[in-house]
């Protein structure tokens, strides 16, 4: 599971690293990158936050790894919450205040606002759930937030067949392909959550290990 999630994250993480190097290395400003050079802090926060969130979060789905390191998921969770919020909030800021690229239609802007806000909401609800010792609710909300955060990886896969068969998407087709990435991830998470066997409710004192931050034990 972690290996698959890391592979899914690989393309956006590498692309983010290239953009980070471009902005910090004094690269030539192009029409595509001008908005980032004009206000680099949000995109740098987004790159670092999203990359670490996706990579660290993948290990929260490794039951064996967490059992061998019982303190891992609590320690990682304390990092994942601010990283996820930084990624989502910086993404919302860029959507609202960066000039919209010519290939992006208003519909895509709406999708980004909806899913960015949903990611923030999932993380906040997951944190609130664990504060109330609602283990199942915490697990489910954090898993949904991670699924949205990993949308950029799945969007590479939704775009690839279109690019090979038709060419570079733009306008409505690009917006719908982006939407498909988020929807696929959320559908998979909902399916995984619903196929988990029902377990008796446990109190915090009965828990043998610290609570999980993401979906699987």
Percent helix, strand, coil in the chain, to 5, is 75, 0, 25
- 213 membership: H or E segment, kind and range: none
111, exposed or middle or buried, with CB in 10 Å at 0-12, 13-18, 19+?
buried
For the stretch 159-206, pLDDT in tens is 999 999 988 888 899 999 999 999 999 999 999 888 865 454 443 333
**Residues near 128 by beta carbon (within 8 Å), at least 6 away in sequence:** none
Distant-in-sequence, close-in-space partners of 166: CB < 8 Å, separation ≥ 6: 173
φ/ψ (deg, to 5) at 150:
-85, 5
Predicted confidence (pLDDT) at residue 210 exceeds the cutoff of 80: no
pLDDT at 206: 37
Q: Are 211 and 136 in contact (CB under 8 A)?
A: no
Supply the Cα-derived Rg of the chain in whole angstroms. 18
CA distance 189 to 197: 15
Per-residue pLDDT, averaged over 29-34, amounts to 86
Q: Which secondary-structure segment (H or E) carries 20? A: helix 2-24
pLDDT at residue number 197: 58
Query: Hey, how many other C-beta atoms are within 10 angstroms of the C-beta on 213?
Result: 31
The two structure tokens encoding residue 72: 């891992």
pLDDT of residue 49: 95
The pLDDT, as a whole number, for residue 201 is 43
pLDDT digits (tens, 9 = 90+) for 64-97: 767 777 777 788 889 999 999 999 999 999 999 9
């Amino acid at each position: 599971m972690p290996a698959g999630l890391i592979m899914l994250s690989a393309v956006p993480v590498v692309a983010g690293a290239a953009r980070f190097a471009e902005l910090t290395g004094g690269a030539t400003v192009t029409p595509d990158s001008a908005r980032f050079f004009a206000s680099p802090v949000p995109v740098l926060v987004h790159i670092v936050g999203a990359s670490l969130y996706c990579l660290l979060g993948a290990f929260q789905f490794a039951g064996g790894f967490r059992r061998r390191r019982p303190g891992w998921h609590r320690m990682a969770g304390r990092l994942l919450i601010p990283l996820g919020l930084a990624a989502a909030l910086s993404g919302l800021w860029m959507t609202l205040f960066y000039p919209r690229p010519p290939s992006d239609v208003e519909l895509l802007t709406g999708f980004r606002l909806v899913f960015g806000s949903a990611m923030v909401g999932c993380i906040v609800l997951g944190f609130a759930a664990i504060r109330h010792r609602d283990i199942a609710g915490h697990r489910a909300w954090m898993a949904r937030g991670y699924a949205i955060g990993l949308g950029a990886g799945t969007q590479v896969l939704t775009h690839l067949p279109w690019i090979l068969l038709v060419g570079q998407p733009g306008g409505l087709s690009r917006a719908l392909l982006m939407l498909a990435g988020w929807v696929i991830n959320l559908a998979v998470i909902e399916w995984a959550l619903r196929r988990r066997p029902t377990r008796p409710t446990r109190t915090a004192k009965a828990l043998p290990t610290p609570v999980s931050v993401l979906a699987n034990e």
